[in-house]
């Protein structure tokens, strides 16, 4: 046709991703209708949430306090809280897949164990605790209920590797006046779903206990950034009532996907100032004190993972 070239032009466009999740408290509330209140701030709470939001996959309500969160986001309705956003998307459970990393050792044996904290901690735990060395961490398996007491550390105070304390077919109970710390350690609950699986603090009235957790940090460890993990297959007696005798100081993810958690005691971020509580439902009562933070640099140090939507991407 006598034409040797044709000028062609093209345009491209990019689209920003959707909302990322930076919640300090996330309620999954799986199976419940969007109208169900999965997160309720009641009583007379003293709550400070810094650098993070609250988020419910159903609805949330603030009766006693606005929460002070950067945003209060709900897939259903968000009422009476700080900076509310309703009708948001339901978030996927990105932590559920970690259950495939759990290797059970106990079978049907449930003798339990009592572990007394010391100033320097222990790399093997008390008699009856089974030790399994993995590539990126050391596992300490407790068959049945674990009761902890004393003041100091369970795992080494200055660890050279990450640790997992795996409680199979049992609960964790803190004795009165226990002041327990673990460093580079995750506490994991698993089992055959026939035994109670919870964290039991003293009930107050002069009986108190403290649990402080700094999570695994090895970049190659799949458990990095996880402080407490409950196998999502566990549904039997998994509710947690952390009453006036509870003081919980934790960095990293606290994952209790089928647990109705009621907090009446004290909860705060630990030294790294990066905490995320993931539960089925969450309720505050009484004079609860909560001080959770997410400092970006510190969250990066412990490798805490959160959900994010597709980043900026080409659409045409």
Tokens of residue 84, six digits: 């509310």
* Structure confidence at residue 43 (pLDDT): 78
* Structure confidence at residue 152 (pLDDT): 98
* Structure confidence at residue 193 (pLDDT): 97
Q: What is the pLDDT of residues 95-153, one digit of tens each?
A: 999 999 999 999 999 999 999 999 999 999 999 999 999 999 999 999 999 999 999 99
Tokens of residue 279, six digits: 């539960």
**Nearest Cα to Cα of residue 102 among 124, 125, 132:** 132
* Structure confidence at residue 206 (pLDDT): 82
The rounded distance, in Å, linking the Cα atoms of 81 and 72 is 6
Which ranges of the chain have pLDDT less than 50?
none
User: Is residue 186 a contact partner of residue 226, using CB atoms and an 8 Å limit?
Assistant: yes
* Structure confidence at residue 313 (pLDDT): 52
Residue 193 gets which letter from DSSP?
A: S
Backbone angles phi, psi at 141, to 5 degrees: -95, 130
* Structure confidence at residue 14 (pLDDT): 53
What's the start-to-end Cα distance of the chain, in Å? 32
The rounded distance, in Å, linking the Cα atoms of 17 and 144 is 45
Radius of gyration of the chain (CA): 22
* Structure confidence at residue 12 (pLDDT): 64
User: Is residue 76 a contact partner of residue 34, using CB atoms and an 8 Å limit?
Assistant: yes
* Structure confidence at residue 187 (pLDDT): 98
Dihedral (CA of 137, 132, 111, 192) sign: positive
The rounded distance, in Å, linking the Cα atoms of 44 and 76 is 24
pTM of the model: 0.92
> What length does the chain have?
316
Q: How far is CA 216 from CA 116, 161, 173, 184, 222, in A?
A: 21, 8, 22, 4, 9
* Residue environment code for 248-279, b if the CB has 16+ CB neighbours within 10 A, otherwise e: bbbbbbbbbbbbbbbbbbbbbbbebbbbbbbb
User: Is residue 20 a contact partner of residue 26, using CB atoms and an 8 Å limit?
Assistant: no
């Amino acid at each position: 046709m006598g034409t040797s070239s044709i000028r062609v032009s093209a345009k491209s466009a990019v689209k920003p991703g959707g909302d990322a999740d930076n919640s300090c408290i996330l309620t999954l509330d799986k199976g419940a209708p969007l109208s169900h209140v999965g997160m309720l701030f009641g009583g007379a709470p003293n709550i400070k949430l810094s650098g993070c939001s609250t988020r419910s996959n159903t609805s949330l309500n603030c009766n006693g306090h606005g929460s002070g969160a950067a945003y209060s986001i709900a897939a259903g309705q968000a009422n009476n809280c700080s900076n509310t956003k309703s009708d948001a998307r339901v978030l996927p459970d990105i932590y559920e897949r970690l259950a495939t990393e759990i290797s059970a050792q106990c079978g049907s044996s449930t003798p339990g164990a009592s572990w007394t904290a010391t100033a320097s901690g222990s790399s093997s735990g008390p008699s009856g605790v089974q030790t399994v060395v993995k590539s990126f961490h050391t596992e300490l398996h407790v068959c049945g209920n674990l009761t902890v007491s004393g003041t100091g550390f369970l795992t080494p105070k200055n660890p050279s590797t990450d640790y997992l304390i795996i409680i199979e077919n049992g609960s964790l109970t803190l004795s009165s006046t226990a002041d327990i710390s673990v460093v580079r350690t995750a506490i994991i609950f698993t089992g055959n779903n026939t035994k109670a699986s919870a964290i039991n603090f003293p009930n107050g009235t002069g009986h108190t206990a403290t649990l402080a957790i700094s999570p695994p940090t090895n970049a190659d460890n799949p458990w990095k950034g996880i402080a407490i993990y409950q196998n999502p297959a566990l549904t039997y007696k998994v509710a947690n009532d952390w009453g006036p005798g509870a003081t919980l100081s934790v960095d990293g993810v606290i994952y209790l996907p089928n647990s109705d958690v009621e907090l009446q005691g004290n909860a705060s971020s630990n030294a790294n100032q990066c905490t995320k509580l993931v539960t089925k439902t969450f309720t505050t009562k009484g004079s609860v004190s909560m001080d959770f933070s997410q400092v970006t640099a510190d969250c990066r140090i412990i490798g805490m993972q959160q959900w994010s939507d597709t980043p900026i991407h080409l659409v045409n």
